[in-house]
Structure 1
Amino acid sequence: MSTPSARKVVVTGIGLALPGVAKYGDLLGPLPVEGGLDPATGLRGREMRHKDRASRLALRAAESALHHAGLTDDKATFTGVADATTVVVSTNLGNVDSVCEATDTIARTGVRGLSPLGLPQTSSNVIAGWVAIRYGLRGPNLTVCNGTTSGLDALAWARNLIVAGRAEAAVVVGVEPANEVATRLLGEQSTDAAVAIVLESADEAASRGARPRATIGGYARTRDLAAALTSAGVTEKRSVGLWLVDEAGAGAGQLLAATRRIDLESQLGPLSGALGILQCAAAAAHLERDATGNVLATAGGPRHDAAAALLLTP
């Protein structure tokens, strides 16, 4: 599946809530570094009350991304076009702790034991909902829960909404929480990770004087990584200066063998639905340095049901 390309879509804002990463330029390595999110203090505050951990992480990242894009004022109030701004969230384990807590409560005491304050956290779209409510965003609102390709898929869905004229801007969030439930499901220590990317049509960004930090290029999701690269438009004539990979891409030695590679999960731990969007942030950091070549982000491969590839250009 390839996305249309009639309307250029650019990255104008990036925000992180991630321990061991102080700024998105740090993603080019080595990691971790001093700084970044301190969950003990960074997830507190009045606006964080009665929200699941993943939603609190997402709100922190979205706040930074919107500020970086110049879409909030000094009171953190959204200043863009709310009716034309969409929220797309990628998460695979986001609120699973809330769902498990609710089912455990029902098993012990029945439905009367459920808290009215906690029940909204069991919605599969709760994270996207909280981001939209916080900033009054009234465009399309959805969550992508699509396994290892989820983050790249979310960026493609947001781009499609802008290309189709359903939105002028998108807040795309990738988030996964560190908690006992997520760790049991993964079979290893989970990672607190949230990253938000603001996408806009190039015309909209230019009209308000926003700085484009990267352009979303070709995208494809197929069953095979090599086929995904071809469908996304990766060719010998379209040079790739940086390849952001996961474990599957890191092992694909015969593909783009001369390209520099960065595997963020090998340095930061499991990222799941946050991976693709964190790759987009790293791509923007690379392109902002006037580095040569485009940036390729891939996820998935033989051990998964699909592979996705996204090409980012200056």
Structure 2
Amino acid sequence: MSTAHPAAASAPARVAVVTGVGLAVPGLTLPDELLGTVRDGGFDPATGLVGRDLRHKDRASRLALRATAPALRAAGLFDGDRYTGSGDTTAVVVSTNVGILENVCSFADTIARDTVLGLSPLGLPQTSSNVIAGSVAMAHGLRGPNVTLCNGPTSGLDALYWARALIVTGRADTAVVIGVEPTGDIVTKLLGTPALDGAVALVLESADRATERGARIRATVTGCAREADLAGAVARAGGLTPDLWLTEAADDPAGPPAGSVLDPAAGLGAASGALGVLQAAAAVAHLDTHGGHTVLATCGGPEGDGVAAVFLTGPDHTP
């Protein structure tokens, strides 16, 4: 005797949304300043990167921690003292290309001068590329997946891709995405220009989780892709028509039609691995005002090994 079982109904696809944004960028306070809003004051690394909670941490980790706290607070997940979400289901995804360069070069100089006997064990973790993500996770008790991407020009948008994937596949309910690049003499020598010396953080959540706790949904990460060229990346990410295109390549003749084009990182220094996350933060600021719009962010180009594209849509967007 056999028993037939009805086919299980497929679960609805999980959707990744943005509920929080935080900046630790010199001269800036809120993400709308990436779109041109001007305020007095803003973050100052000279005074903002000190404190007992930052002792024995590398510069990139300190910047990341200073961007993460306001992002979690904006998402309603930080009460000023502790993380109020589920640490077990919260991931940290960091993008940085030169974040630990100064640390590694300093250790190499010490070894060349004093051999390994001259190294400090307290500083050794700072030579790991994942020290930034680890510092954020330990500070807030985030025990989900912990990843650092050092992937060149597309790294920031690639971090959004992986954070979205973690949420859509159920590996995490929440993800803190951070783009950070510290400055320094060695970084400036390598890049030929000063780096951003700042960080930006986004809080991504499953739409269901955000709705359950009554969080304000500020944007939906509608599509992400990475391809050999701009046209291919845009098409694979969803092929939507953006109201705003955020890019460094505003004069690219293959660019998609857009109501307006903007480089939110202009004038901030070499954003490198933080660029894509900065673009996403600017997109959220735009969608805070224009809830029905679609924003496209793109990084990379012909001189690199690919182009990354991310579409973000506002809470009032109609497909």
TM-score, reference length from structure 2? 0.92
Residues 258, 133 of structure 1: alpha-carbon distance in 2 compared, 3 angstrom cutoff: closer
Task: Give the corresponding residue for 1:24.
Answer: 31
CA distance in 2 between counterparts of 1:189 and 1:271 reads 9
Runs ≥4 in structure 1, deviation > 3 angstroms? none
CA distance in 2 between counterparts of 1:179 and 1:15 reads 23
Is the contact between residue 241 and residue 256 of structure 2 (CA under 8 Å) also seen in structure 1? no
CA distance in 1 between counterparts of 2:193 and 2:40 reads 23
Could you tell me which runs of 5 or more consecutive residues in structure 2 were left unpaired when the two chains were aligned: 1-11, 315-319
Q: Does 1:214 align with 2:216?
A: no
Q: Does 1:72 align with 2:60?
A: no
Residues 227, 206 of structure 1: alpha-carbon distance in 2 compared, 3 angstrom cutoff: same
**Residue deviations 1:180-214, cap 9 Å, x none?**
11111101122212000000000000010000100
Q: Does 1:228 align with 2:233?
A: yes
In structure 1, the residue corresponding to 2:265 is in which secondary structure?
A: helix
CA displacement at 1:109 relative to structure 2:
0.6
In structure 2, the residue corresponding to 1:101 is in which secondary structure?
A: helix
CA RMSD of aligned residues (A): 1.4
Is the contact between residue 14 and residue 206 of structure 2 (CA under 8 Å) also seen in structure 1? yes
CA distance in 1 between counterparts of 2:302 and 2:109 reads 35
Out of 139-148 and 259-268, give the one that drifted further: 259-268
Q: Does 1:90 align with 2:95?
A: yes
Is the contact between residue 193 and residue 269 of structure 2 (CA under 8 Å) also seen in structure 1? no
Residues 80, 260 of structure 1: alpha-carbon distance in 2 compared, 3 angstrom cutoff: same
Q: Does 1:61 align with 2:63?
A: no
Q: Does 1:197 align with 2:202?
A: yes
Q: Does 1:48 align with 2:30?
A: no
Q: Does 1:108 align with 2:113?
A: yes
CA distance in 1 between counterparts of 2:293 and 2:265 reads 23
TM-score, reference length from structure 1? 0.93
**Residue deviations 1:198-255, cap 9 Å, x none?**
0000000001000010000111101111111111112xxx331100001xx3121342
CA displacement at 1:292 relative to structure 2:
4.9
CA distance in 2 between counterparts of 1:45 and 1:255 reads 45
Code of the residue aligned with 1:9 in structure 2: it is A
CA distance in 2 between counterparts of 1:266 and 1:172 reads 21
CA distance in 1 between counterparts of 2:264 and 2:187 reads 19
In structure 1, the residue corresponding to 2:233 is in which secondary structure?
A: helix
CA distance in 2 between counterparts of 1:199 and 1:136 reads 17
Counting matched residue pairs gives 303
CA displacement at 1:258 relative to structure 2:
4.5
Code of the residue aligned with 1:15 in structure 2: it is G
Equivalent in 233, 241, 248 of residue 239 of structure 1: 241
Equivalent in 145, 151, 161 of residue 140 of structure 1: 145
Is the contact between residue 18 and residue 217 of structure 2 (CA under 8 Å) also seen in structure 1? yes
In structure 2, the residue corresponding to 1:157 is in which secondary structure?
A: helix
Is the contact between residue 93 and residue 182 of structure 1 (CA under 8 Å) also seen in structure 2? yes
**Residue deviations 1:232-291, cap 9 Å, x none?**
112xxx331100001xx3121342344301112333221011110111111111111025
Q: Does 1:129 align with 2:134?
A: yes
Q: Which has the larger radius of gyration?
A: 2
Identity %: 59
Is the contact between residue 125 and residue 142 of structure 1 (CA under 8 Å) also seen in structure 2? yes
CA distance in 2 between counterparts of 1:143 and 1:288 reads 28
Code of the residue aligned with 1:59 in structure 2: it is L
CA displacement at 1:117 relative to structure 2:
1.0
Out of 255-264 and 199-208, give the one that drifted further: 255-264
CA displacement at 1:123 relative to structure 2:
0.8
Code of the residue aligned with 2:256 in structure 1: it is L
